[in-house]
Chains A and B, each alone.
Chain A
Amino acid sequence: MSQRGNIPILRVGSNLLTTIHIDLHDTIAEAFQEDVLVAIKNTGAKGLVIDITGLEEVDTYVARILADTGRMAALMGAHTILVGMRAEVAATLVRMGFAMDTVETALDVDDGLAMLQARKALGRK
């Protein structure tokens, strides 16, 4: 799939999988969000897994970008699952008072994809 940004978006069955491995600053973040939306439009994907295993820290700015990406995907009919959050990242975000409650989460990519399959089996969008 063609992308403007530096973050690859892969098709896995009827879902999309993207792994964030670089620092999301303004320019990269916008390109990433637009790439995700174009990929959803082109593939008709109903699910999106965002893997943040590679992020050693997630500040409120990056957390907001991730939550916003999930909201944007939802407007296109795709359900987002954020996976791979490290233990120390989870602890830090909650201690700061950030509730990541607009995006569904799972431990890892396998669990995230399984959750999307389960949703599909239930016939939800």
Chain B
Amino acid sequence: MADVVQRWEMPIRTEDDVILVRRKARMLAQERGFDAFATAALTTAASELGRNALVHGGGGGALIEHLADGTRSGIRITFVDRGPGIADMARVLAGGYSTARSLGLGLSGTRRLVEEFDIESAPGAGTKVVICKWTRY
């Protein structure tokens, strides 16, 4: 069972906010002993999802949590927006699909960078994406 050691709530209203979320994730990953590859994977995922929340969701927020399960450290990030939501989830997760300015690799690509990936969305109800990555030992 993982315990939440510490948590930070951050708004996503501007491009600078997305950068701040990514920097916080990077700082935490480095403090917790993530290697360069795991750190880049986590921060790139945070960047993609933060940008999605801003561009597709019209803004929202991120919750960053430092987790511990006794032997390993984890970082969980939850992105929430109040945008139009995703109507065709299967298509979006299959990749190659883009509604605005990304390449359509955003969600499908991000899923490959983290150990845990959950998404909840419905038309008109916004989108919530949760990712989690753990140290190897």
Using CB atoms and an 8 Å cutoff, list the residues of chain A in contact with chain B: 23, 25-26, 56-61, 63-64, 86-89, 91-92, 95-98
Contacts and interface: CB of A to CB of B under 8 A. Distances in A.
A64 B48 CA distance: 13
B26 A59 contact: no
Interface centre among B47, B102, B110 (most CB of A within 10 A): B47
Contacts of B48: 59-61
Interface of B: 15-16, 18-19, 22, 26, 36-37, 39-41, 43-44, 47-48, 51, 95, 101-103, 105-106, 108-110, 112-113
B26 A56 contact: yes
A61 B39 CA distance: 18
Contact of B105 (A25, A26, A98): A98
Contacts of A64: 102-103
A23 B22 CA distance: 11
A63 B108 CA distance: 16
Contacts of A86: 36, 40
B112 A96 contact: yes
22 contacts: A25-B15, A57-B44, A60-B103, A60-B105, A60-B109, A61-B48, A61-B101, A61-B102, A63-B103, A86-B36, A88-B37, A88-B39, A88-B41, A89-B40, A91-B37, A91-B40, A95-B109, A95-B112, A95-B113, A96-B44, A98-B105, A98-B109
A23 B18 CA distance: 11
